[in-house]
Structure formats: structure tokens, C-alpha cells
Amino acid sequence: MKIKKAIRAVLYLRLSDEDKDKLTKEELSESIKNQETMLKDYAKEHNWEIVSVFKDEDWSGSDATRPEFNDMIKYCKDGNTDIVLCKSQSRFARDMELVEKYVHNLFHEWNIRFVTVVDRIDNTKQETKKTSQILGLTDQWYLEDTSENVRKTLKIKRENGQFTGSFAPYGYMKDSENKNHLIVDPIASNIVKRIYEEFLSGKGISTIAKDLNKDNILSPYEYKKINGIKLSVPLLKSTSNYEFIERAGTYKIDVYYTNNENQIINNLVTYNFLSSNKNKFDNKCEIILKQFSSKKMKVYYTTNNDIDINNFNLKQWTVLNENETIPNNTTCIATYTPKLDNMHTIEYHFEITLKENIKHEKFYFYIERKSKNKNVVLNFKYNIRNKYKWSEQYIKKILTNEYYIGNLVQFKSTTVSYKNHTIIHNDKEDWIKVYNTHTKIINSTDWYKVQERLKLKSRSTKKGTLHPFTNKVFCMKCNQPFCKCGKNNKCGYGYLACRDKRNKWLNCDNKKYLNEKDFYNFIINKINILLNKFYSEKDLKNLEKKDTVNNLYENKINGLEKELKKLEKELEYKISCFSKLYEDYTKEILTEKEFLILKLKYNDEVQKLESRISNIKQDINTTLKQKNSIKDKTEIIKKYKHIEKIDNEIINEFIYKILIGKYNIENQTREIKIIWNFII
């Protein structure tokens, strides 16, 4: 008697981004369960054996990189199933190319039958092929229209000063009442302030990054992860997921498990090991519990070598709290969950530091799961990755971001299309910038000071701080920097000389050295003279006029901005008129001679408009500088009464540039010109 071979089937389920926007959490849970129940019932009705279930959540049907989708394709290619069963073809793919590639080509090669429940597609039946192709085409049209509409909507939102990013920049969070508005994150914003303050005080970028890591301040990526924001790990070799830990360093182990069944799991225990022999934790690693998600779940550790994993006895275990380091003689960590509801996810995170590994052992992470529910199917995942630390690159990103002065600068990059996710970096003139859209973390004066300093290439001292006069002192003859050379071991001061000294004075004859101590005293004296003048009776009376002067500047700026808007609108109108003019010419409504005459007139008018617009923009910038100079002078000088010594902050606040003239042998003097940061 010939035994009938069972027909094997895999189920593929997908929830997209648009489903996520439309449905509540409970409805999402119900939606994926309903899909699975429908497909299981259909398979049972046709006597098909379900051999595997693949699920992609929050993925578009046009995305060929869906992880579970690709696992399912590999499963089919390896000959592990006879049928792929979906609710509808759009759940499988909304891209015509993917439908053609797999449903109508490769599945036939692999002897895979593709079946859908709702739209009744069956690739073994010729009569459904056209239906499948029409559905594929309409699905693709739908995606194209949706993509175009989304792009237009995002453009309008950006122009209206609404934040459209997936994640708020570090220091901010999305407003719970309006996801397109940024509000200050009270914790991360303090770190942003610290970065700016330290940079302005003279610390170098690399030193700031090292100090943040030394103080165990979470990097932006780790901060977002620990606050529940789902971020995918960038596909970089140095930070990708690992099967084991081999190199010394700090790693994160992220563990997730979900009950996807229509039942409740009781008394779920997991036993966690990090070891080279699948026995117990190795004491070469320092292990900290960083976070766990559920209040119901408890985490324990034990130093006992005799553990019965079939009988969880609380007397043998000690509670492990968040941010607590386990003892070196720990043999195992366990998690205990008394009740795990259906569709509920548990997650916990360990931070592991391997200080040395002379023998180059491979440390694997193991988990044993035990529950009184014998037939439980648990969707269990974990990954080992590098711990993300503060880097010079990210510090510089924070120091240059206009978000921190209340401006939104968006559309710096885009993708080719909804199908091709290759990133294109837009030209600066295409960026969409809107001012004063949210609360500042950094005041504008400090932000612009930082930008000026970043333009200068400078090195820090061995202590990680910049010399106060770095990129401030220049030769009046050749405009090269005056650099420090030599050092008096008794007082710590040295000498300053023109950099052309390195070229043996080939290009400059300003050869006389400048005593560093005398120079310091000269600058201190000049600043104190300025302070005394400011606090004199005459200057204080002038302060009373400050508001009047500011109002005059403000009125002038407002008038110029109104004229600018009017001219830009007029220019836009002229361009649209010329477009219609060209249309009339191509349609032969205008003769070539008439068109050329009108074109010359148009070019002349446009040139005048563009020239006036350029002049107005320049006037606005000049007036703003004049206004800010008065404001800056008052705000800076009010901070000081008298100074005894100078540092980076004082020099950066008061002085823009210092020029050193050639030494006059006859009268033994040299000109030193100070260019202040404000009008005096």
C-alpha cells in the first residue's frame, strides 16, 4: 500500500506601516492573529501540514529586504515546503517585479504552489495569472501614488516648520500631543549644554567624547534604545551583530521573546549563560543588568553550582536589580515571569565587558527555557552587539546642528524612490530651513561662537584644552599665525613668533619674538581698560539709549524683510510669465522676433530684481551684526568687573583677532592691534 505524502505549507503574514498608523495596539494584535487564524483554518480545510510561519511587522510590501520574507524565500528554495499560503497577494508583495520574479517564475522552478485566500490566486492555474498580474500592477500604482502624496505632504509640513523625522534629535523628544513638534528632553538637553560649555571653555572634541564615556553618559543611540525607541543597528563591520564575544571590549546583549500563541504561558523561567563551555558564566567578564521591560518579570542570579533547571527554587537565587553588577563567582542568571499574556513581549538587556582574552576563547550566550506549559511555541530572539559610545563625529554633529537654536533644517537627504532606498544628499540650496520652530537649548550667540571655532583647525594641549590664544594671534606683515615656541620652566611662559620662522624667514621679516608673559599682561590690561570705560558714568548713560537704538535696528530689519518678500514674489511672477511666454513661442503664437524682444526685456528686469534682492540680503546681514554687536557687548561686559587672568572663555568672548606688528628697533616698540568681537 502506497503511503500518501503530506502536503507541506508555510504561512506568510505581513503588517505594513500604514496598518500601524490606522490601528490601535490591540487592533494590530488582533489583525496579525486574524491573518494567522484564517490561514490555519484554510490549510486545515485542505489537509495541508503547516511546517513554518513567517511574519513581517511594520514592513512595506514593496521592500525586498524584509527579514522574514527573505527567510521564507530561502526556506522555499531549500525545498522545505510545497505551498506558500497568504491572505492576499498584496501581503506577499505590492511590487510587480517581486510578484513576477517569485510567483510566476522561481516558484515554478522550485515546484512551489502560491495560494491566496482572499483574491483566490493560484499560480498552478493559468486562469488566475492575469488576475495576479493586474493585482500586481494596481498594487504598484497604489504604492507610486501613495509615495508621491507622502513626498508632497512631507514637503508642505517641512515648509510650515513641522518636524518630519522618524526620531527626535538628541536633546529633544516628540510632543505627545503633536508628533511634528519638538519639545526639550530634560535629561539629554543637559548633556547637550555640557558639550557646548566644555567646547567653548577650550576642550577639544576628542576630549569631550572621552570624558562623556568615562562618566558613563549613554551615547545618543544607547539613550534612545533604553527609552524604548526601536532603532536598527547600522550595518557596519565594527558594530554588527556577533555570534560570540572574542575581542576585549564592551558589548550589549539584547534579549526578546514573544508569546504569539492564543494561550497564556504560566511560570516561564529562562536560564542565561555566557560561557565558552555552555556551563556557567565566565568570571573574566563584568556583567551588568541594564534594563528589563516588564514589572511582572524578575531577574535573579546564583553562585550555586548545583542548579536543577527543571525545578526553579527561589531559595537558591538572589534578585538582580537594574544597573547592578553580578559577582564574579556567579554561575547563572535566571528570569522568572509568572504569567505571559498572548502577544506579549518580554525584553531585557545585559552590558558585558571583556577586559582581556589572552587565550582567544569564544564566549557564547546560551539560554534554556522552562515552563509548565509543555507545548509552548515562543518567538525568541537575542543579539550580541558593540555598545555604542560617544564619538568625535557625533560630538561635531551636535555642535553644528541648528536644532539646538530653535531652527529646523530638513530635507538634507532623500531616497531615489519608494523602491530604491539609496540615499541622495541634497544640495544646500535645496534644504528646507524654518526659524524659531521650537524651544532653544543653546543660545544663538554661543552657537555662532562654536561655528567660528570649528572653522579653525587647532590642536589641544596635552591636558585636552586649547591654548587661550589659539587661532587668535596673527602676524600683521604676512597674516600667518603667531605660534608658541620655547618655554621658561620656572614660570611656564614661553615666547610667540611668526610661523614663518619654520621657513627660516623666507617670506616675512617680522622676526622679533614676543614674550608670552608680557603679552598676557598687555591683553589683561586692555580688557580691564574696556571694562572701566564701560562702567564709567558716561557709558552707563549711553546704555539708556540702547533700547532706542535696538528699536531703530529692528525697524530697519523689518522694513528690509518686507521689501525682500515683495521682490521675491515679483521675481517668482516674472519667472512664471516667462514660462508662459516660452509656451506661446513654441506654439507659434509669438514670432521669433517678438519672443527675443520680450526675452531681452525679461532678462533685464530679472537681473535688476536679483541684484536688488542680493543687496537687501547683504543689508539685513550687516544690520543684524550691528544690532547683535551692541547686544553682545552689553551682555559680555556685564559678566565681568575686573579680570586678573585670562582663559579660553574670556578671550573667545572679547577678542576676534589680534595682529602683531613688526618690532621698531629705534623706539623699541611694536604695534599690537586688537579686533574686538563688538563695536567699541
Q: Which amino acid is at 319?
A: V
For residue 188, the tally of other CB atoms under 10 A from its CB is 22
Q: Which pLDDT score, from 0 to 100, does residue 196 have?
A: 94
Q: How far apart are CA 59 and CA 66, in angstroms?
A: 7
Give the CA count within 13 Å in the CB-facing half-sphere of 468.
Answer: 18
Contacts 24+ apart (CB under 8 A), 520-524: 520/493, 520/646, 522/672, 523/646, 523/651, 523/655, 523/658, 523/674, 524/643, 524/644, 524/645, 524/646
SS3 string of 466-483?
CCCCCCCEEECCCCCEEE
Query: Can you tell me the distance from the alpha carbon of 32 to that of 379, in angstroms, rounded to the nearest whole number?
Result: 14
pLDDT band at residue 577 under the 50/70/90 scheme:
confident
Q: Chain-centre distance of CA 557, in angstroms?
A: 35
Gap between the Cα atoms of 572 and 578, Å rounded: 10
pLDDT per position as a tens digit, 297-317: 889 998 887 777 778 888 889
The secondary structure of residue 14, as a DSSP letter, is: E
Rounded CA gap, 134 and 325, in Å?
60
- Name the nearest CA neighbour of 99 among 148, 54, 64, 142: 64
Between CA 334 and CA 318 the distance in angstroms is: 10
What is the rounded CA–CA span in Å between residue 32 and residue 588?
61
The residue-averaged pLDDT of 635-660 equals 82
Using the predicted structure, report yes or no on whether residue 247 has a pLDDT greater than 90.
no
**Please, are residues 56 and 13 in contact by the beta-carbon 8 Å criterion?**
yes
Q: In this structure, which topology does domain 172-217+392-450 adopt according to CATH?
A: Hect, E3 ligase catalytic domain fold (3.90.1750)
Q: What's the pLDDT tens digit per position in 321-349?
A: 888 888 888 888 888 888 877 767 788 88
Does the pTM surpass 0.85? The reply is no
pLDDT band at 85 (very low <50, low <70, confident <90, very high): very high
Please give the share of the chain, as a percent, with pLDDT higher than 90: 19
Burial class (CB in 10 A: 0-12, 13-18, 19+), 665: exposed
pLDDT of residue 163: 92
CA distance 211 to 376: 47
Question: 258 with 268: CB under 8 angstroms?
Answer: no
Fold annotation for 7-145: Rossmann fold (3.40.50)
pLDDT, residue 22, reads 46
Three-state DSSP state, 448:
helix
Cell numbers linked to 183: 519639545
The H-assigned helical ranges of 160-241 are 188-200, 205-214, 220-226
> What average pLDDT does the chain have?
80
| C-alpha to C-alpha distance for 504 and 148, rounded to whole angstroms | 64
The sign one gets for the Cα dihedral 472, 474, 476, 480 is negative
pLDDT band at 239; cut points 50, 70, 90: very low
Give which of 519, 479, 514 is closest to 497, Cα–Cα.
Answer: 514
Q: What is the predicted pLDDT for the residue at 112?
A: 94
Domains of the chain: which residue ranges? 7-145, 172-217+392-450, 237-386, 467-535+648-676, 538-637
**pLDDT at 658 exceeding the cut of 60:** yes
Q: Which of 489 and 118 is assigned the larger pLDDT?
A: 118
Q: Residue 569: which pLDDT band, with cuts at 50, 70 and 90?
A: confident
**Three-state SS annotation for 322-383:** CCEECCCCCCEEEEEEEEECCCCEEEEEEEEEECCCCCCCCEEEEEEEECCCCCCCEEEEEE
**Spacing of C-alpha 319 from chain mean position:** 36
Q: What's the CATH code, domain 237-386?
A: 2.60.40
d(CA 182, CA 439): 8
Question: Cell match 518636524: residue?
Answer: 163
Instruction: Decide: residue 81, CB within 10 A, 0-12 exposed, 13-18 middle, 19+ buried.
Output: buried
Average pLDDT over residues 218-229: 78
Q: Are strands 494-498 and 113-116 parallel, antiparallel or unpaired?
A: unpaired
Give the pLDDT score at 229. 61
Distance between CA 551 and CA 202 in Å, rounded? 35
pLDDT digits (tens, 9 = 90+) for 416-450: 666 666 677 788 778 888 888 999 999 888 888 88
Q: Which residues partner with 673 through β-bridges?
A: 659
CA-closest candidate to residue 12, choices 78, 79, 61, 77:
61
What mean pLDDT comes out for the span 608-625? 75
Query: Rounded to an integer, what distance in angstroms lies between the CA atom of residue 268 and that of residue 68?
Result: 26
pLDDT of residue 25: 46
Give the pLDDT confidence score for residue 78 in this predicted structure.
93
User: Which amino acid, 307?
Assistant: I
Task: For residue range 197-215, list pLDDT tens digits in order.
Answer: 999 888 888 889 889 988 8
DSSP 261: S
Report pLDDT for 111: 94
Spatial separation of the C-alpha atoms in residues 123 and 112, rounded to whole Å: 9
The predicted model gives 232-253 an average pLDDT of 65
DSSP 222-244: HHHHHTT---PPP--GGGS-BSS
pLDDT number for residue 26? 47
Tell me which residue of 85, 100, 120, 104 sits closest to 8, measured CA to CA: 85
CA 31/CA 25 separation, integer angstroms: 10
Task: Name the most confidently modeled range: 66-80, 282-296, 537-551.
Answer: 66-80
On whether the CB atoms of residues 157 and 413 are closer than 8 A, the answer is no
Q: What is the CA radius of gyration of the chain?
A: 35
**Which is more confidently placed, 41 or 387?**
41
Question: Is 575:609 a contact under the CB 8 Å cutoff?
Answer: no
Q: What is the pLDDT of residues 582-606, one digit of tens each?
A: 677 677 777 777 767 777 777 777 7
Determine the pLDDT at residue 238. Answer: 40
What are the C-alpha distances in Å from 89 to residues 47, 125, 657, 660? 22, 15, 69, 77
Task: List pLDDT tens digits, range 151-185.
Answer: 888 888 888 889 998 889 999 999 988 999 999 99
